[in-house]
């Protein structure tokens, strides 16, 4: 059950993709998702040099022999290693699945990756962007709607409308997401025509996610009302957890703050510090509306299996 073009393309058991999360999608979480039958995606931008990136790829391989992918982040960011360096390493290590994400299509990487038999997914938030990515040669597109945690873009189209629009507009398999927290959302995505489903927010609150327990507990207690859009004023809209830092960022944006003025608050270092220390207002953390569906901190593998079991039970109930 739930065999799709995406399970076939990536040789995985279930069409569930573990969304890459900055600072969090390291070996343990990636391997746990893949080992449970999904596709874990490691966030390359976490790593400050080629060696630590290479070590982490090897660590995934020690934890699981299942397929996994690497995210190449094309959003503007201060990054000590260039994406070409990350690609050097991942090719060298024989990784053959790459997800790109950003404001543009991954034109500059397609030739090199395809020449090396890498299958490519591009993640975006609108029909036009998906079409452009397909035109430059990606094998699959991921689209996430307005509910999603992290970059939401400026279009504000909900998943319920965006996914079928993209499915109807491209001729490659579509992975849908934004707001999926359980088997109900998973099945809804497949009903909308997606061949795979991406989850991010749900995976933040798992045992293998390297987030301080204080934060995980605070997130579990949050509801769907506890997110807000930030960074729209600088053209980088993100859905984030509505903590004191997100409110501070909003206030600064309302006052017309420049990128330089916002930088200390939105920068990765503040977030990283908070993730490690557990001071829940010390940084900004991406978070989707699916946070309202999460009731407990569980192992990532249980989350994946739980989604599949719930989806099977629902299919039985509605298709008899």
SS (HEC) of 114-125? HHCCCEEEEEEC
Closest CA to 217 of 130, 280, 310: 280
CB of 62 to ligand FMN, least distance (A): 24
Asked whether position 105 contacts ligand FMN by CB under 6 A, the answer is no
Binding flag, residue 147, ligand FMN (CB under 6 A)? yes
Q: Which helix (H) or strand (E) holds 245?
A: helix 244-254
User: Nearest 10 degrees: CA dihedral of 184, 189, 191, 196?
Assistant: -120
User: What tokens appear for 33 in the block?
Assistant: 């998702």
Among 148, 206, 243, 250, the residue binding ligand FMN under the rule CB under 6 A is 148
Binds ligand FMN by CB under 6 A, chosen from 110, 120, 175, 199: 199
**Region of 60-68, 85-93, 172-180, 242-250 interacting with ligand FMN (CB under 6 A):** 172-180
By CB under 6 A, residue 206 contacts ligand FMN: no
Q: Helices 50-63 and 83-92 sit at what angle, rounded to 10 degrees? A: 40
Determine which residue in the list 175, 230, 286, 300 makes contact with ligand FMN, applying CB under 6 A.
Answer: 286
Which is nearer to ligand FMN, 123 or 216 (by Cβ)? 123
Q: Does 22 bind ligand FMN (CB under 6 A)?
A: yes
Residue 11: closest CA among 196, 186, 203: 196
List the x/- string, 73-102, binding to ligand FMN by CB under 6 A.
x---------------------------x-
CB of 151 to ligand FMN, least distance (A): 6
Enumerate residues 47-76 that contact ligand FMN by CB under 6 A. Answer: 71, 73
> Which residue has the closest beta carbon to ligand FMN?
200
Helix, strand, coil % over all residues of the chain, rounded to 5: 45, 15, 40
Per the CB < 8 A criterion, the answer to whether 160 and 139 are in contact is no
Q: Is 116 helix (H, G, I), strand (E, B) or coil?
A: coil
Tallying the residues shown for the chain, one arrives at 320
Query: Which parts of 214-243 interact with ligand FMN (CB under 6 A)?
Result: none
Residue number with CB closer to ligand FMN (71 or 233)? 71
Which token pair is 85? Answer: 């360096």
User: Which residue in the set 15, 153, 173, 177 belongs to the binding site for ligand FMN (CB under 6 A)?
Assistant: 177
Name 133's Cβ contacts closer than 8 Å, sequence gap at least 6: 105, 106, 122, 124, 141
Residue 9 or 46: the one with the smaller Cβ distance to ligand FMN is: 46
What minimum distance in Å lies between the beta carbon of 18 and ligand FMN? 8
* C-alpha to C-alpha distance for 138 and 68, rounded to whole angstroms: 17
Cβ-contact 215, 277 below 8 angstroms: no
Q: Name which of residues 25 to 44 contact ligand FMN (CB under 6 A).
A: 43
Which of 204, 219, 266, 300: binder of ligand FMN (CB under 6 A)?
Answer: 204
Characterize the bridge pairing of strands 150-151 and 238-241. Answer: antiparallel
Asked if 180 is part of the footprint of ligand FMN (rule: CB under 6 A), the reply reads: yes
Interface residue with ligand FMN among 290, 294, 300, 304 (CB under 6 A) is 290
Nearer CB in complex with ligand FMN: 15/200: 200
Contact 133, 106 (CB under 8 A): yes
Closest listed residue to residue 216, CA positions, set 228, 204, 225: 204
* Min dist. Cβ of residue 16 to ligand FMN (A): 11
Residue numbers at the binding site for ligand FMN (CB under 6 A):
19-22, 24, 43, 71, 73, 101, 123, 144, 147-150, 177-180, 198-201, 204, 285-288, 290
């Amino acid at each position: 059950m739930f065999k799709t073009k995406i399970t076939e393309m990536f040789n995985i058991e279930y069409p569930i993709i573990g969304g890459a999360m900055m600072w969090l999608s390291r070996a343990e979480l990636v391997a746990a998702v893949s080992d449970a039958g999904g596709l874990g995606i490691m966030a390359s931008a976490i790593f400050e040099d080629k060696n630590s990136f290479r070590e982490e790829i090897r660590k995934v391989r020690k934890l699981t022999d299942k397929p996994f992918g690497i995210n190449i982040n094309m959003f503007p960011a201060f990054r000590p290693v260039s994406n070409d360096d990350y690609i050097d390493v991942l090719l060298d290590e024989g990784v053959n699945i790459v997800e790109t994400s950003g404001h543009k299509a991954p034109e500059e990487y397609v030739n090199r990756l395809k020449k090396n038999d890498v299958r490519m997914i591009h993640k975006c938030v609108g029909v036009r962007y998906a079409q452009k990515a397909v035109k430059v040669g990606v094998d699959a597109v991921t689209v996430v709607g307005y509910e999603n945690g992290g970059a939401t873009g400026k279009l504000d189209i909900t998943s319920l409308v965006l996914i079928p629009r993209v499915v109807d507009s491209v001729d490659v398999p579509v992975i849908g997401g934004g707001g999926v927290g359980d088997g109900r959302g998973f099945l809804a995505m497949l009903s909308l025509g997606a061949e795979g489903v991406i989850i991010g927010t749900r995976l933040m609150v798992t045992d293998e996610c390297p987030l301080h327990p204080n934060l995980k507990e605070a997130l579990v207690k949050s509801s769907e009302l506890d997110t807000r859009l930030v960074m729209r004023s600088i053209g980088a809209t993100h859905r984030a957890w509505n903590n004191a830092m997100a409110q501070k960022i909003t206030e600064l944006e309302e006052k017309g703050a420049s990128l330089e003025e916002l930088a200390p608050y939105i920068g990765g270092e503040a977030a990283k510090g908070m993730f490690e220390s557990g001071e829940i207002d010390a940084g900004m953390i991406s978070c989707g509306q699916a946070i309202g569906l999460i009731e407990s901190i569980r192992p990532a593998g249980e989350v994946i299996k739980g989604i599949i079991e719930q989806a099977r039970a629902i299919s039985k109930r509605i298709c008899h």
